[in-house]
Every structure is written in C-alpha cells, then in structure tokens.
Structure 1
Amino acid sequence: MNNRYNTLRNSTPKYSTTTVMDGAARQVLRNTYLLLSLCLGFSAITAGVTAALNLPGPGILITIAGYFGLLFLVTKYKDQGLGVALVFALTGFMGYTLGPVISVYLKMPNGTLTVMMALGGTAAIFLGMSAYALVTKRDLSFMRGILTVGVLVAFVAALAGIFLQIPALSLTVSAVFVLLMSGMILYETNNIVRGGETNYVMATVSLFVSIFNLFTSLLHLLGFVNKE
C-alpha cells in the first residue's frame, strides 16, 4: 500500500513557480517591446504636434473608419515588411486623434496634473500587469473570451454614451475600460510568453491599443474628478 501511495505521489505533475520562455517566445517578446516603444514615441510626437498646432479632431466616424481600416491592413500584411509600416500608420493616426483630446484637458483647471496623472497611472498599470504576466505560472488563456465580450459590450456602450450624451454612462464605461484594458495587457503578455502569440506585429498592435484605451479612460475619469 505504501509503495502504491508513493508511486501515485511521485507521478503527480509538478508545476514550476515561474514561466520559462523558450527562445522563440523570448524573441517575439523582445521584438514586440522594441516596436511598441517606437510606436508609443511616434504616437506621442504626433499627439504633441496635433495639440500644439491646435488641429481639430477628425470626428467619431472618421476615427472609427480610419482605425478599423488601418487595423484590417495591418492584419492582412502582418507577415510582411509592409505590416510594420502600417503599424506606424495606425499608431500615428491614433496619436493624431488623441492630440485634440489632450489639448482640451490641458485647458481645464488642473489640466496638466490630470494628464500627468493619467500617464503615470497608465505606466504603473502596464508595468504591473506585464511583470505579473512574465512571472506567473498560470495559463491566462481563459481570459480571452471574457475580455472579448467585455470589450464589445463596452464599445457599444461607449458609442451610446457619445451619441446620447449621458455623462454617467460615459464615466461607467471609462471605469470598465480601465479594468478591461488592464486585463488585455495581462492576457496578451502572458500569451506571448507561453507561445500563443507568435507575430510581434499583432502583439504590438494589441498592447498599443490597450495602452491607448487605458490612458484615455484614466484621462476621462481623472478629468472628471479634478474638475469637481
């Protein structure tokens, strides 16, 4: 009986306390972070120039059409060199749409503080979620379905808040987006580490969009709080 018990105990699978990346996953992660950092810088410059020149925003319809159109092209050419150029086009366009928004907040009371707090909060959440995803032994693939449904519902609610002009709904959506985008950063990074995402172009786009939405959502929430 003891021998049988020892055999069963010894055959129980042991899980490591950390996630060990293979060479391919490490390369994808390295390329993703490199491209992401370049895109964040390019988008920030675009947003800064747009805000400095006080250029008008493109409007909700052009923003949606431009985003999904460029996203479609990035997905189509993700395995080609053109895909990288299209990522810069997409992130630059998103920076252009962000510039007028930042300009509005900077003109508000405590506007500079609001923008800096949103930037700091975004950086802290990104670093925290990324660090956890890199060291956790858990497979977070179960989050994909939950996050997908959540983002779709929140996106529809956000459009409703814009067209119906319901401030409470917009604030609620922003709070939900903070949670969803934090989850997206966690999921996508863990997916890269575990070899689920092998294309650094698409990984970059996913993380960039999550960071972008996280920042704008925090900006909306903090802007409301600091305005009071």
Structure 2
Amino acid sequence: MALYDRADSRNAYAEDSLLHESELVGFVKTTYKFFAGSLLLATIGALLGLMNFQAVVQYKWVFFIAEIAVLFGLMFSKSKPGLNLFMLFAFTALSGVTLVPLLGMVIAKAGLGAIWQALGMTTIVFGLMSVYALKTKNDLANMGKMLFIALIVVLVCSLINLFLGSPMFQVVIAGASAILFSLYIAYDTQNIVKGMYDSPIDAAVSLYLDFLNVFISILQIIGIFSDRDK
C-alpha cells in the first residue's frame, strides 16, 4: 500500500512557508497523535476481521477495493478539516481488515507469536530510523527521487510475481520493500520535523503507510520461511 502522494503533501514547504518553531512543535505532536490513533484503529480493524475471518476472506477483494477508494478519498479531502480525519481513520481501520488474510496465513504457519515478532521488529525499525532522521546532518530530501524509483520497481516486481507465484522472488521483493520503507520512515520523519507537510493528516498517513509496509514485508518473509521449514 504505497499510493499516497507525498510530493503533493509538501507544497507548503516547497513555497517556503515554513512553520514557526512553536507551531512546528504542535504540528509534530498532532501528527504523532494521529499516527498513534491510526495504529489503534488498524489494530481494532484487524481484531474485528480475525473474529469474522471467513467473511473477510470471502469478501477480501471488496474490502481491498473499499480501502483503495477511501485512500483516494483521503487524498482528495486533505484540505477539508474533519472529513480528512474521518477518512484517515476509516482508511486505517480498513487496512487492518485487509491484513486479516495475511495474518491468518502467518498464524497458521508460524503461530500467533510470529505476529508479535513482526510487530516488535517493525517497531524497532521505526524507532531506529526515526532517531536516525532526527540525528543525521544529511538532508534526506535528496533521497526522494531515488526512493520513488525504487518504489515503482518494487510495485512492478510485485505485479509480475502475481503471475509467477514464486516464493523466493516474493522473499526478495519483501526484503527490498522492508528496506525501502525503512528508508521512507527516515525520509518522512525528517520532512515532518522540518514542517514539509500541509497538515498533520498528510504527515500521519505517510508514517502509517511506512510502518504498515514494513510490517507486511516482515510478515511475508516470516510466512514464507515458516512454510519452507515444514
């Protein structure tokens, strides 16, 4: 899930309308509150989905299409306060539901502990890359084009593997995706603390997508290798 338009969300910074320090502190705090709320709603969505596992699996494409539709709705409502927050939380809740088939597969192959393992690893990666973004003297904005090109390559490879169905190719894709979105965590974090987003909603959804994609990538790797061990 990496369709959100980060470039368009940073128009304010591109026009040199940087926030004052006090405003920036409030902006960052609000962003992380929305990010935490997004993780909570995704968790609730996943738990409700697991409680209704058969229905979610049966209608997984319906939930996926709904998720994409809400994401596009979020992109087009970013300048509408209230509605954009509703769309953010609706999207994150749906993304939790659409994770259910993958969660079920990993639990069946590796046990519930694998989910906690993946979540723990994702949290550690998120923390480390966030600290790096805050401590580094390098301007990570220069990574933008490179990351976008890498994202396109990963998406194309993922589409190709839908037809090939190669587990080892999927491991390579998942590994590359985990690295890519780990870098995106640092990239987006630095952009946030520099006030490069139009709103905390835009910033929060970027962080959420980074976290989600790292988590999904780790889950896929665990699921594939657990299957090979049997």
Normalised by the shorter chain, which TM-score bucket? 0.7 to 0.9
Matched, 1:206 2:206: yes
User: After the TM superposition, which parts of structure 1 deviate over 6 Å for at least 4 consecutive aligned residues?
Assistant: none
Quote the Cα distance in structure 1 between the aligned partners of 2:207 and 2:135: 18
Quote the Cα distance in structure 1 between the aligned partners of 2:62 and 2:148: 22
Q: For the Cα contact (< 8 Å) 1:49–1:99, is it kept in 2?
A: no
Q: For the Cα contact (< 8 Å) 1:111–1:223, is it kept in 2?
A: no
Q: CA-atom RMSD, angstroms?
A: 1.8
Partner of 1:141: 141
Partner of 2:187: 187
Q: CA deviation at 1:99?
A: 1.6
Partner of 2:82: 81
Quote the Cα distance in structure 2 between the aligned partners of 1:125 and 1:47: 21
Change in 2 beyond 3 A, CA 1:148/1:94: same
Task: Write the letter of the residue equivalent to 1:164.
Answer: L
Unaligned runs of 5+ in 1: 1-20
Task: Write the letter of the residue equivalent to 1:48.
Answer: L
Q: CA deviation at 1:127?
A: 0.7
Quote the Cα distance in structure 2 between the aligned partners of 1:103 and 1:59: 13
Q: For the Cα contact (< 8 Å) 1:43–1:91, is it kept in 2?
A: yes
Deviations 1:164-184 (A, max 9, x none): 212222111100000011011
Quote the Cα distance in structure 2 between the aligned partners of 1:75 and 1:112: 34
Deviations 1:34-59 (A, max 9, x none): 01101101111110111122133344
Partner of 2:40: 41
Partner of 1:18: none
Q: CA deviation at 1:86?
A: 0.2
Change in 2 beyond 3 A, CA 1:142/1:61: farther
Task: Write the letter of the residue equivalent to 1:173.
Answer: I
Matched, 1:222 2:222: yes
Q: TM-score, normalised by structure 2?
A: 0.83
Percent of paired sites with the same residue = 28
Partner of 1:93: 94
Partner of 2:4: none
Equivalent residues, number: 206
Q: For the Cα contact (< 8 Å) 1:162–1:170, is it kept in 2?
A: no
Quote the Cα distance in structure 2 between the aligned partners of 1:149 and 1:66: 27
Q: For the Cα contact (< 8 Å) 2:63–2:97, is it kept in 1?
A: no
Q: TM-score, normalised by structure 1?
A: 0.84
Unaligned runs of 5+ in 2: 1-19
Q: CA deviation at 1:61?
A: 7.8
Partner of 1:106: 107
Task: Write the letter of the residue equivalent to 2:82.
Answer: G
**Structure with bigger gyration radius:** 1
Quote the Cα distance in structure 2 between the aligned partners of 1:34 and 1:62: 26
Q: CA deviation at 1:100?
A: 2.4
Q: CA deviation at 1:60?
A: 5.3
